[in-house]
């Protein structure tokens, strides 16, 4: 998690490196006009490139389960704080000159990747706490199985009943259906989904024949239980989707960043654009 002992250590390391990089940059700027082709600009460009590769390696280390080269938590903390450092280093590399379209695009990609990474770190610090509020001792698979069992129980209760009873059963099942991408849609709403049996039970009981009222009450009780389980399952999925959604920005833009960084470096040396 972003809040950890190693995070404090890396925060101090990066603050020290930022201070040193800033001091050297302004010292050099007082002697020479800063730009990407100056000796210091080249140095910062090399450092930035190496840091980008190191940060990209985190995706490999995260799935390299047998590795003993640092813990995954330590790698995560270094990934977060070095991401901020690489953005500053590359800004100093440009020297405030933004004439090269490829270089500017690369820098914009760095900003997007770093910003999305910070956003992801904030999510990992806050969402797990919210997730514990809706998680139960049951896994998502077990909740789904219970939902299926309750649905079958409702079908058995409705079996052989009158047409009015069947319509109520279908209405309850339809209103409780989460729909397509329900877990993702919950990302954009704060309101809890309405329970499937939130309507007036008295009105529903009037629709069924007298001899089926007891069965209808049982059906409504099971429907309420099913709705509560469904809401819990959907909110579990909501928070898990929140934890994954930022990766749909972070990872593709990271790949694009690596490609543009390579193109930028090749263009600099191939066309002799060190000035």
Is residue 111 located within the same domain as residue 182? no
Specify whether 209 is located in the same domain as 162. Answer: yes
Q: Domain span at residue 12?
A: 5-135+246-270
- Would you state the pLDDT for residue 72? 61
171 and 93 co-located in one domain: no
**Residues 151, 58: one domain?**
no
Which pLDDT score is estimated for 225? 86
User: Helix (H) and strand (E) counts for the chain?
Assistant: 10, 0
One digit per residue, the tens of pLDDT, for the chain of length 275 reads: 444 455 678 888 889 999 999 999 999 888 888 887 888 888 998 998 898 888 888 766 666 656 666 666 777 788 888 888 999 999 999 887 887 788 889 899 999 999 988 888 887 777 666 555 555 566 667 778 888 898 899 999 988 888 888 888 888 888 766 655 555 555 555 544 444 444 466 667 777 778 888 888 888 889 888 888 887 777 777 777 777 778 888 889 989 999 998 888 888 777 765 44
Q: Are residues 256 and 126 in the same domain?
A: yes
Same domain, 98 and 231: no
CA dihedral of 140, 143, 149, 154, whole degrees rounded to 10: -120
Largest Cα–Cα separation, the chain = 96
Q: Are residues 260 and 236 in the same domain?
A: no
Q: How far apart are CA 196 and CA 199, in angstroms?
A: 8
Structure tokens at 41: 């600009």
What's this model's pTM, rounded to 2 decimal places?
0.62
């Amino acid at each position: 998690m972003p809040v950890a002992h190693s995070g404090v250590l890396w925060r101090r390391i990066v603050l020290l490196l930022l201070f040193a990089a800033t001091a050297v940059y302004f010292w050099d700027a007082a002697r020479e006009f800063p730009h990407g082709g100056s000796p210091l600009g080249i140095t910062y460009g090399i450092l930035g490139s190496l840091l980008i590769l190191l940060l990209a390696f985190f995706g490999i280390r995260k799935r390299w389960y047998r590795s003993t080269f640092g813990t995954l938590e330590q790698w995560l903390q270094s990934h977060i704080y070095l991401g901020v450092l690489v953005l500053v280093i590359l800004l100093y590399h440009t020297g405030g000159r933004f004439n090269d379209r490829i270089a500017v695009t690369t820098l914009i990609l760095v900003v997007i990747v770093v910003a999305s990474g910070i956003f992801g770190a904030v999510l990992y610090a806050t969402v797990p706490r919210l997730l514990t509020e809706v998680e139960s001792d049951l896994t998502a698979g077990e909740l789904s199985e219970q939902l299926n069992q309750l649905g079958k129980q409702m079908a058995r209760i409705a079996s052989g009943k009158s047409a009015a009873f069947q319509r109520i059963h279908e209405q309850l099942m339809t209103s409780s259906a989460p729909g397509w991408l329900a877990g993702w849609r919950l990302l954009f709403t704060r309101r809890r989904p309405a329970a499937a049996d939130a309507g007036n039970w008295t009105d529903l009981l009037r629709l069924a024949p007298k001899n089926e009222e007891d069965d209808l009450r049982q059906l409504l009780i099971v429907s309420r239980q099913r709705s509560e389980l469904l809401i819990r399952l959907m909110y579990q999925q909501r928070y898990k989707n929140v934890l994954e959604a930022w990766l749909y920005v972070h990872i593709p833009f990271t790949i694009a960043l690596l490609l543009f960084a390579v193109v930028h470096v090749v263009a600099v040396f191939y066309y002799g654009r060190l000035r």
